[in-house]
Amino acid sequence: MKTLKETLVSLKEHQAILHYNIATYEQYKAAVVAVSETGLPMLIGVSEGERGYVGMTMAGQWVQEAQKKNLPIFINADHCKSDTTAMEAVDALYDEVLMDGTEFTEDENILRTKKVIEYRNHIQQKIGREILIEGEIGYLAGSSDLGGSIEIKAEYLTTPEQAIRFVQETGVDLLAISVGNVHGVPQTILQGGNALKSPQIDFDRIKTIHSSLRQNNFNTWLVLHGGSGLTDDDFVHAIKCGIQIIHLNTEFRNIWKNSLKKNLEKDTVNPYKILNGVVEDLKNRIIHYQQLFYTLQ
């Protein structure tokens, strides 16, 4: 089976991979069933909160079991808020680790991300196995939930100059950028003096960042977080502009909750008869996005 890096290298133009977060076994199982049916690669993410619930080791073992069956499923330690938690994920041999230093100054973000890269390099030499490091520059407002109001300020958005400097000074493999995307599905988004009902992605910004990195000989993969609330057309456009990994979490959490409520109405107390319906609903949506992102021409 290909590694995550080999999988990303083999992506053709206008192909991207779905990144989907889990906090329960049913969410994990839905990914396994989906990939078993499609054969398409995907990333499973576990944030600090999700790792705290599932267990760092347990989440990793679930994905390793899928990989033993040659299923192209990879695990990412999503949004590590400190270099300490990021290095713990490196120690756990996750396929990818996101060092999210966006709550720090840009200089501090670079320093902490670089520290994680150096630690990763040290561990890789010992184990002979690649672990990819993702960094994040710019700022994404919101949280992985529904409702509320958030503001996107101009200074939150990633500039090409920031992207080049960040990649040059840290050496990250992947870069998450802020281009009008937000975490969660807010009721109202305030941007540029306007009240929006859905995110307005700056596709030209994606294209410029992508081309600027390539012109400077950086083959860094670009990541779009905050996919929930975007349309299929938004995703297609973003992929054509250079995005190669797309994160979706809140939409799937909402599917999980609504499906669970629906299936709890069944006339049974048998857990697997209730939860199989949840797995099926999640699986169907995973397949939709896998095929949309990966088979785009």
Q: Average pLDDT of the chain?
A: 93
Among left, alpha and beta (phi > 0; psi -120 to 50; other), residue 149 is: beta
Q: Half-sphere exposure (CA, 13 Å, Cβ side) for 36?
A: 11
pLDDT value of residue 143: 65
Distances (CA, A) of 86 to 37, 175, 181, 226: 32, 15, 23, 20
* CA atoms of 184 and 247, how far apart (whole Å): 11
64-103 pLDDT, tens per residue?
A: 999 999 999 999 999 999 999 999 999 999 999 999 999 9
Helix 83-91 to helix 106-127 angle, to the nearest 10 degrees? 20
Distances (CA, A) of 54 to 24, 34, 60: 7, 21, 10
Superfamily for the 4-294 domain:
Aldolase class I (3.20.20.70)
Helix 203-215 to helix 232-241 angle, to the nearest 10 degrees? 20
More confident residue, 295 or 45: 45
140-149 pLDDT, tens per residue?
A: 876 666 556 6
* CA atoms of 236 and 187, how far apart (whole Å): 23
Over the Cα atoms of the chain, what is R_g?
18
Distances (CA, A) of 120 to 42, 82, 85, 131, 164: 22, 14, 13, 7, 21
| H-run or E-run covering 253 | helix 250-263
Span 123-133, average pLDDT: 94
Distances (CA, A) of 279 to 75, 180, 188: 19, 31, 31
20-60 pLDDT, tens per residue?
A: 999 999 999 999 999 999 999 999 999 999 999 999 999 99
Place of tokens 């839905």: 30
pLDDT value of residue 235: 96
pLDDT value of residue 254: 92
Q: Are 2 and 71 in contact (CB under 8 A)?
A: no
The number of helices, as runs of H, and strands, as runs of E, in the chain is 11, 13
Question: How many other C-beta atoms are found inside a 10 Å radius of the C-beta of residue 273?
Answer: 12
Q: Where are the domains of the chain?
A: 4-294
Poorest-pLDDT segment among 64-73, 101-110, 152-161, 193-202? 193-202
Whole-number percent of the chain with pLDDT over 90? 82
Q: Tokens in use for 165?
A: 């400097």
* CA atoms of 94 and 60, how far apart (whole Å): 7
Q: Which amino acid is at 97?
A: V
pLDDT at 193 over 80: no
* CA atoms of 111 and 165, how far apart (whole Å): 12
Span 228-245, average pLDDT: 95
Beta strand extents in the chain (DSSP E only): 17-21, 42-46, 73-80, 96-99, 132-137, 142-146, 149-152, 174-177, 183-185, 188-191, 194-196, 221-224, 243-248
